Amino acid sequence: MQDQVSDYLTRLLQSQSNAKGLDWLGKQTQIISTTAVPVKLYLAFSQSSRFFKKAKLTLSREQIDQADHLTPGLQPQFWDELQTARTVLLLSYQAEKETWFNTINQLFETADMYEHQALFAALPVLPFQEDLIPRAIDGLRTNISLVFDAIALNNPFPAKYFPQANWNQLVLKAIFMQRPLYRIKGLEERRNPALAAIARDFAHERWAAGRDVMPEIWRLVSPFVDENYLADLKKTLQTQDNLQMKAALLALRESAYLPAQELLESYPNQVSTLDMDTLAWESIGSEFQRTRV
């Protein structure tokens, strides 16, 4: 599987990176895979910035599907050339577990910001996944949004492996840092009552401080709407803010709670303009990012 992913990522680079960089990368992966000497990996990993730019990859529809087929949820369309080259280097280093972790831990502990980005985004394609969970959890303590995003956004790793408490911390921190929630993989599937309560407390704190609430947080609430949440959604509907209202209506529409359905019926015109659920949340999230963050 590692080889398949590596071949796939190399092909992505071949369609847009310069020949000199590709030639260098080919030589480095050859040396690293045949010798497995950590220093060769360390040097190549950091020096990649001399050969590859931080230019976003451009993927065809077919290439996007291929990525998902190789590793469910993998989205290299959000990666740049430099981190892709670094991921190819990581995959070329193969060793038994203890040796592999000694080497990779050094990379994590000495990484600069862009190296961290590459390492964390690569988690879903690295070996020994379960043993990498503490590393991912620790990585989320960063407040560099570039590094946080590499773990939290467009990355299937947390939803697949995080225990609920850590998952909830990830989502709450994303809210706190005003990151786009719709880009968190598995957000909908891993909604839970504890997270809904955390979101609600957060909203109350914001209101108490006279601040706006990120509209996407109501997506976390919708499966659990009861009379308390309904009061919050009513309050949100009264903000007269288009994005907030849309989010509250979506949450009501997703809820099976009868009073929620009744409340929804009093907004027939607004409801008729809403997209399908996933699309609607995405458009609210992206508009909020574009206009408010």
Partner 1 sequence: MYIDPHIHVVSRTTDDYEAMRKAGIVAVIEPAFWLGQPRTEVGSFKDYFSTLVGWERFRASQFGIVHYCTMGLNSKEANNEALAEQVMELLPLYVGKEGVVAIGEIGYDDQTEAEDKFYRLQLELAKDVDLPVLIHTPHRDKRKGTIRSMDVSEEHGLDPKMVIVDHNNEETVKEVLERGYYAGFTIYPHTKMGSERMVEIVRQYGPERIIVNSAADWGISDPLAVPKTADLMRKSGIPEEHIKLVTYQNALTAFGQSGQMDEQDWLNAAPLDQTKKMSGNSVLRGGQTPRVEGPSDIVEN
Where along the sequence are the contacts to partner 1 (CB under 8 A)? 39, 42-47, 49-50, 106-107, 109-110, 112-115, 141-145
Are 50 and 17 in contact by the 8 Å Cβ rule? The answer is: no
Q: Which is nearer to partner 1, 87 or 244 (CB)?
A: 87
Are 212 and 241 in contact by the 8 Å Cβ rule? The answer is: yes
The one-letter amino acid code at 223 reads P
Are 119 and 111 in contact by the 8 Å Cβ rule? The answer is: yes
What's the maximum distance between 2 C-alpha atoms anywhere in the chain? 69
Measured in whole angstroms, the distance separating CA 164 from the mean position of its chain's CA atoms is 16
Q: Which is nearer to partner 1, 46 or 66 (CB)?
A: 46
Q: How far is the CB of 285 from partner 1 (least distance, A)?
A: 21
Q: Which is nearer to partner 1, 82 or 252 (CB)?
A: 82
Are 192 and 164 in contact by the 8 Å Cβ rule? The answer is: yes
Q: How far is the CB of 45 from partner 1 (least distance, A)?
A: 8
Angle at the Cα of 88 (from 152 to 133), degrees rounded to 5?
35
Q: How far is the CB of 139 from partner 1 (least distance, A)?
A: 11
Q: How far is the CB of 176 from partner 1 (least distance, A)?
A: 11
Q: Which is nearer to partner 1, 58 or 106 (CB)?
A: 106
Q: How far is the CB of 115 from partner 1 (least distance, A)?
A: 8
Task: List phi, psi (to 5°) of 290.
Answer: -70, -40
Angle at the Cα of 138 (from 196 to 79), degrees rounded to 5?
85
Q: Which is nearer to partner 1, 103 or 155 (CB)?
A: 103
